[in-house]
Amino acid sequence: MADDKKLTTRAADFSAWYNEVVLRSELADYSPVRGCMVIRPNGYGIWERMQRRLDDMFKATGHQNAYFPLFIPESFLHKEAEHVEGFAPEAAVVTHGGGKLLEEPLVVRPTSETIIYSMFAKWVQSYRDLPLLINQWANVVRWEMRTRLFLRTTEFLWQEGHTAHTTHDEAEEEARRMLGVYRDFMEGHIAMPVITGQKTDAEKFAGALRTYSCEAMMQDNRALQAGTSHNLGQNFAKAFELSFQSESGSTEFAWNTSWGVSTRMVGGLVMTHGDDLGLRVPPLLAPIEVVIVPIYRSDEERSKVLEAANAIVGSLAEWAGRGTERIRVHVDAREGMKPGAKYYEWELRGIPLRLELGPRDLAANQGVLVRRDTREKRPVSLSTIGEDLAETLSTIQREMLAAALDRREAHSVRDHITYDRFRELMEGEGGFVYAGWCGAGACETEIKNDTKATIRCLPDEEFRSADAPTTCLKCGRPSTVEALWAKAY
């Protein structure tokens, strides 16, 4: 194929590579509105599979879906002091409707705490009405100055969970539970390993008591915050008079949580798994898992091979070895296109498996199966094709996670590095650095100004170093906690 069709390599320019992969694999396109994006069917198909699985997980943990308006009265945003400070600068505000100046401007939701808790206040009277466990699938708008497809766009799609509880501990348990759900999904489906932990006060959600996050390492060794879960305490309950009568008859404010993940995860998928040939989609999220490419020289061969391909599709539709989740297969029957050009296109799009089918293969009752992740190629018998495909797909899913985990660990530093070495690392190849922190905001700010690295989280126990540093990376005073440092998207 022509050189001009080759992608920029990751090593040459990771950022250019990312944009090319997103555009050329037709995940998304730039929109006429600056900072917004159009999600194309290839990208939306991945998002739909993410949504479906997450929605099942939310419902299995007791949540119900509801929908709240896109517009929020501007005064609502001002009711919680930290919240307005955090979100007002990036708010889109509607001042006119129906050709008239509105009495009160309306904010296009940047997040829905304010409008949702104003409604919860109406619905909750007694402790018997709690817990209230709601999720919303929606779009939100944040007026971003610097945007990148999927990673940071003015409008994006997400889900936001909002819950109300009778006690602090119950809200804390909920915030942690949903962080765990996110981690399970990201590792189990996106094959993207994450570090979970608590955000520092400087990095927490505007209006939260505590914020927890999932942090993944991209292939340029930067961190991507892939999901957050907040214990909101009683801040919003007080602002919106969300109170209830307790079992003993007293009136108390409820305890809230909120948690969200967005189309940003699609960007995370690309930057975790993509290679210099394009996308690599984990099978569980691939709208098409297997593409069959027929190979032929004559019309006669073509009809024979296509007939066999369609027979395979038919047999897979009936094969129930994977329960109700049938293998998603597509036959690329396009005419006037060489097999090589088709291979190139499906590789760019990251379809996990390709089955090449030619007359000679058919004579031997076999096809040639090619893995997108490793490009390993082997003959497969058509008699046991369902079992073989299903097993290979689950192997790919597992090995993609293992490869991403290996790469993350290879670029993680836990050996008590000096501040000079840390600066050097952040200027160069980057990575995840586990280091001591004295807890002072001043050290956090100075490091950020010096190196652009931030504390991604204070890692949960299972991620902490066995031999954690005892002094602060910056000031050398005793460390109160181990922090995970990285440059981030």
User: Which residues have C-beta within 8 Å of that of residue 100, sequence separation ≥ 6?
Assistant: none
Quick one: 266 or 438, whose CB is closer to Zn ion? Answer: 438
CB of 440: closest distance to Zn ion in angstroms? 5
Quick one: 268 or 436, whose CB is closer to Zn ion? Answer: 436
CB of 487: closest distance to Zn ion in angstroms? 19
CB of 446: closest distance to Zn ion in angstroms? 9
Quick one: 285 or 443, whose CB is closer to Zn ion? Answer: 443
Residue 186 vs residues 56, 224, 234, 265: alpha-carbon distances, Å: 14, 12, 29, 9
CB of 458: closest distance to Zn ion in angstroms? 14
Q: Tell me which residues touch Zn ion (CB under 5 A).
A: 438, 440, 443, 472, 474-475
Chain centre distance of CA 451 = 26
User: d(Cα 377, Cα 368) in Å, to the nearest integer?
Assistant: 7
The neighbour count for residue 150, using CB atoms within 10 Å, is 25
Calculated CA dihedral for residues 142, 146, 148, 154, nearest 10 degrees: 20
Quick one: 72 or 443, whose CB is closer to Zn ion? Answer: 443
Calculated CA dihedral for residues 170, 176, 182, 188, nearest 10 degrees: -110
User: d(Cα 205, Cα 211) in Å, to the nearest integer?
Assistant: 6
CB of 476: closest distance to Zn ion in angstroms? 7
CB of 415: closest distance to Zn ion in angstroms? 19
Quick one: 23 or 475, whose CB is closer to Zn ion? Answer: 475
User: d(Cα 437, Cα 423) in Å, to the nearest integer?
Assistant: 16
- The alpha carbons of the chain give a radius of gyration, in whole angstroms, of 25
Quick one: 176 or 477, whose CB is closer to Zn ion? Answer: 477
User: d(Cα 269, Cα 267) in Å, to the nearest integer?
Assistant: 5
Quick one: 382 or 443, whose CB is closer to Zn ion? Answer: 443
Q: Is 172 helix (H, G, I), strand (E, B) or coil?
A: helix
Nearest to 176 by CA among 247, 249, 254, 231: 231
CB 446 within 8 A of CB 472: no
Quick one: 89 or 478, whose CB is closer to Zn ion? Answer: 478
Quick one: 24 or 448, whose CB is closer to Zn ion? Answer: 448
Residue 340 vs residues 278, 335, 343: alpha-carbon distances, Å: 15, 13, 5
* Burial of residue 464, with CB atoms counted within 10 A of its CB: 0-12 exposed, 13-18 middle, 19 or more buried: middle
CB of 439: closest distance to Zn ion in angstroms? 7
DSSP line for 452-488? S-EEEEEE-GGGS-TT--SB-TTT-SBPSEEEEEE-B
| Bridge partners, residue 39, by sequence | 28
Quick one: 306 or 440, whose CB is closer to Zn ion? Answer: 440
CB of 462: closest distance to Zn ion in angstroms? 25
CB of 471: closest distance to Zn ion in angstroms? 8
Quick one: 85 or 446, whose CB is closer to Zn ion? Answer: 446
CB of 210: closest distance to Zn ion in angstroms? 21
CB 163 within 8 A of CB 257: yes
Considering only the C-alpha atoms of the chain, give the largest distance between any 2 of them, rounded to a whole number of Å. Answer: 84
Quick one: 172 or 444, whose CB is closer to Zn ion? Answer: 444
CB of 425: closest distance to Zn ion in angstroms? 18
DSSP line for 57-95? HHHHTT-EE----SEEEHHHHTTSHHHHHHHGGG-EEEE
The neighbour count for residue 16, using CB atoms within 10 Å, is 13
Quick one: 264 or 474, whose CB is closer to Zn ion? Answer: 474
* Burial of residue 24, with CB atoms counted within 10 A of its CB: 0-12 exposed, 13-18 middle, 19 or more buried: middle
CB of 443: closest distance to Zn ion in angstroms? 3
CB of 449: closest distance to Zn ion in angstroms? 14
Chain centre distance of CA 478 = 36
